[in-house]
Amino acid sequence: MKRVWKSFVSIMLTMFLLVGSFAVCPETVEAASYPLAIASDVYASVGETAYIVYQYSPAFKNEELIVEIYDSSNNYIGGVTRAFYNQYTTIKYYTVTWDTAGKAAGTYKAVVTKRFYSYYQWNTAPTTSTSYIYLTNDLAGVKGDNLYNGNDTSFSCVQNGVQTAENNYMCNAMSAWRTTSFPDYNVQLKELYTGETANTIVKSENMYNPTAPVGMQWYLMKWEITNKSAGTLRASDVLKTFYKYSGARVSVADTPSFMGDRENQDIYSVTIEPGLTEETWIGILVPLCQQVPYIKINNTYLNINPAYAATRNTTTHKAVKDTGVLATCTVDGLTDGEHCSSCGQIVTPQTVIKAIGHEWDDGTLTGDGYIVYKCMNIGCTEIKKAKAPVSAKKAQKITTAKMKSYKASSLKKKSVSFNLKAKASGNGKLTYKVTKYPKGMKKFVTVNKNGKVTLKMGAKRGAYKITIKAAAKGKYKAASKVVTIQVK
């Protein structure tokens, strides 16, 4: 009996320790176990209800999404918590509505935190997901039946970021309403029809085109494509990848066919020859919500939101003057311009005025041989000095008496002396030097500072040469002359 009792106590103690270990040391859940909920950005007018549609994949039966909205200064505006009891479905959608009445135009962010119940406790995912809500005072017709005529204007009062479920990161989505240049072509969205207007056009083009199902609407678009390549371009090769608000792809296979006014203008019929521009139509089915689809062309996202087509000018922007800067002799200047004090967009760009460069006077000669030049431009005090140019000097000529020859036989008996009688035309100082003589005869010829030459007794046959130099003087350059004395 004691042995049975000990076994029972041992088993109960083991079970208690196991249960205790689960309660005290819950297993750590990796980030990959709780995928975040994501949403595309929202564009809405002040006073409208903004709809933020979240897409996420449940990982646990009991989960919560906590959505908090903040303004651009990170001040808390409001929030909502939604609890879910999941049956492990693949994808869920949750729409948060926000009444923007009384809110100022600007950029707001919606931060979603995911909580889940696991291992007998609520856990909070370590990371959050952020999407943006852009409120403007003039965003009209996003969900209406209006016809939008695109123009080539910029729109930076609304930030152009788009988050996709495909890659779950923020990318810069440029406006499709502006001409976007790619290596082989340019594209621009020109017109957009939505709602019943688009549905009516689609049905009138072809009786077999489907009516937009409940909860969906047609987006009917006219695009302009310019072919910059050397070959023929098909419109369907350019306009082929659209995305829904959830980030799911919209296949162009769902597009309507055109047999009325737009016959042969659909993307499958239009080809563009090199150097030409053609227009083409495409329609896609998208959910009825405030999220506007966008297109991906050549790995670049283009936002087709009609807000980007709104005309922007100085009456829309709060234009303030950017005062120009005068160009100086050495520094570029700027013309006057304007920018929007609300969003910073340039309304009237400032252009560069090139530096005008110095304009020097004729200069003043100084006593130390320099010329000082002053800049004559107003406000400039720059000066520069340059050495005065030296006038060209004249050549100096040396003349001498006519040289005689002497007989070696006469020099055997006695020495001979005579004067070169050298003169310099510039009166430069003369110097003399014996520079050549027969072999071994160096001591047998001399010349003094006055030009007196002495051939000593015993001088042998050959040529004896004297170099005469005249130093530079005044406007005359230095000169030299070689005279030859022959002993025969």
Mind listing the pLDDT tens digit for each residue in 177-227? 777 888 899 998 888 887 778 888 888 888 888 777 766 778 888 899 999
Token readout for 114 is: 């995911």
Considering only residues 119 and 448, tell me which one the structure prediction assigns the higher pLDDT: 448
- 393-425 pLDDT, tens digit per residue, is 678 898 998 888 888 888 888 888 989 899 998
pLDDT over 50 (residue 304): yes
CATH of domain 31-136: 2.60.40.10
Whether CATH 1.10.3720.10 fits 147-309: no
Token readout for 473 is: 């003087």
- What is the per-residue pLDDT for 150? 34
**Contacting residues for 18 by C-beta, under 8 A, at least 6 apart:** none
Closest CA to 300 of 197, 402, 182: 182
* Overall average pLDDT of the 342-371 stretch: 82
- 150-159 pLDDT, tens digit per residue, is 333 332 222 2
For residue 407, which amino acid is it? K
- What is the per-residue pLDDT for 90? 62
Percent of the chain with pLDDT over 70: 71
Average confidence score pLDDT of the chain? 74
- Of 140-144, 162-166, 332-336, the range with the lowest mean pLDDT is 162-166
**Three-state DSSP state, 321:** strand
* Overall average pLDDT of the 237-260 stretch: 70
Per DSSP, what are the bridge partners of residue 300? 297
How confident is residue 8, by pLDDT bands cut at 50, 70 and 90?
A: very low
How confident is residue 142, by pLDDT bands cut at 50, 70 and 90?
A: very low
* Overall average pLDDT of the 319-343 stretch: 85
Domain ranges of the chain: 31-136, 147-309, 322-353, 358-390, 398-487
Closest CA to 353 of 327, 386, 380, 331: 327
pLDDT over 90 (residue 233): yes
pLDDT over 90 (residue 33): no
Fold of 398-487: Immunoglobulin-like (2.60.40)
